[in-house]
Amino acid sequence: MKRSLAVSLPLLAGLMLSACASQSEKSAVNPGPAIAAPAQPPQTGLRLTGVGSYHATALSGDYADYPELNQFIGRMVQKYGFEREYLLGLFSQARRKQWTLDYLGKSDQGLKSRPARGGWTRYRAQFLDERHINGGVAFWQKHQAALQRASRQYGVPGEYILGILAIETGFGANVGNHRVIDALTTLGFDYQRRGEFFRSELESFLVMTAAEGVDPAKPLGSFAGAMGLGQFMPSSFQQWAVDFNGDGRRDLWNPEDAIGSVANYFASHGWRSGQPVVTATRGKLTGVESLEPGIESRYSLDTLRQAGLEPAGGCPCNDPLRLLLLRHQSHDEYLLGHSNFYVITRYNHSTHYAMAVHELAQAIRSAYLKKSE
């Protein structure tokens, strides 16, 4: 998870598709809030064996003169029992991705604090189209049993799992072509703004590949290290990926494991089965300008009513609500976001991303049911 890449935040999963949510918004599954990776004492008896025939006595290649990487290797040896020569050999063949650094440098300069007029119109058009909807119907038909089982087990409707997979990778059509080891090493040691976060993800990636029996130089993903159909970052893989097809491995490039893992991510973050995601509003909006829209601010229904907003139709509005602002080309639209909307934003911390998942989920479900008649 997990966007919103995801994290949040994150075109990070497919440009990386989940980072296209907004350059100013972060993702939890894709790169999200910085996570510190403090030095820890060795864990007695723990010894991880890396996969692949890598061996060197000193760093060479693109990262030969990086003392921070040598220190990182030392921590991995101490903390997890990796062989130093194995890690020296592995990182000696890692490649620095200058394109990634240039791209993120430009993105950082373009951060905006408030959505621009027409921003939602433009963002929505990227995903609410026949390609994503028809692709969702075809994927549903092919993996109907897995989607039904995930819905029963985790309480998450299949269409919302499909909404995530559609936006992140087009159901696996664009899982990324960057080696994860290159992406995370580059961002961990050459991207100052979020280096600590990516070093933490690199640590999780090495632990993950050792535990799953995978050569760490083989997995391909986004330019920021997000992996599989759902574009999980390694730390999200460690926490929420599941072996949903029962073959003994967690493989997010496998559709069934991806389906189960996305459902598990939503359930673990508090998805409420049978509860709404958003509610439309009506009213004169006499005091709405005094309220801060977005996923971090929460309001009671009474507060929203004082600002001139009323739910349009029935609304289970006992819990705090998010005030969502969608800026169309011709007008602004306000919606009420429920707890399930907030759960979607844990995948990618973006109002636009979560709304696209919601609308695409409804469109795919409608098209699927129509085709099944």
Residues 6 or more apart in contact with residue 163 via CB below 8 angstroms: 136, 356, 357, 358, 360, 361, 364
Locate the DSSP E strands across the chain: 178-179, 220-221, 278-282, 310-311, 322-327, 332-337
- The answer to whether 68 is a known catalytic residue is no
Q: Give me the phi and psi of 336, to 5 degrees please.
A: -105, 125
Please compute, for residue 222, the number of CA atoms within 13 A of its CA located in the half-sphere on the CB side: 33
> To the nearest 5 percent, what fractions of the chain are helix, strand and coil?
50, 5, 45
Q: What six digits make up the tokens of 279? A: 């509610």
Is 58:69 a contact under the CB 8 Å cutoff? no
Residues 6 or more apart in contact with residue 287 via CB below 8 angstroms: 306, 307, 308
Q: Report d(CA 6, CA 18) in Å as an integer.
A: 5
Is 265:29 a contact under the CB 8 Å cutoff? yes
Within a 10 A sphere around the Cβ of 244, how many other Cβ atoms? 23
For helices 67-80 and 84-92, what crossing angle results, to 10°?
Answer: 140
End-to-end CA distance of the chain: 33
- DSSP-assigned letters across all residues of 314-334: -----S-BEEEEEE-SS-EEE
Determine the longest span between alpha carbons in the chain, in angstroms: 71
Please compute, for residue 59, the number of CA atoms within 13 A of its CA located in the half-sphere on the CB side: 17
The single residue of 25, 159, 168, 203 carrying the catalytic annotation is 168
Residue bearing tokens 């998942």: 357
Active site positions, annotated: 168
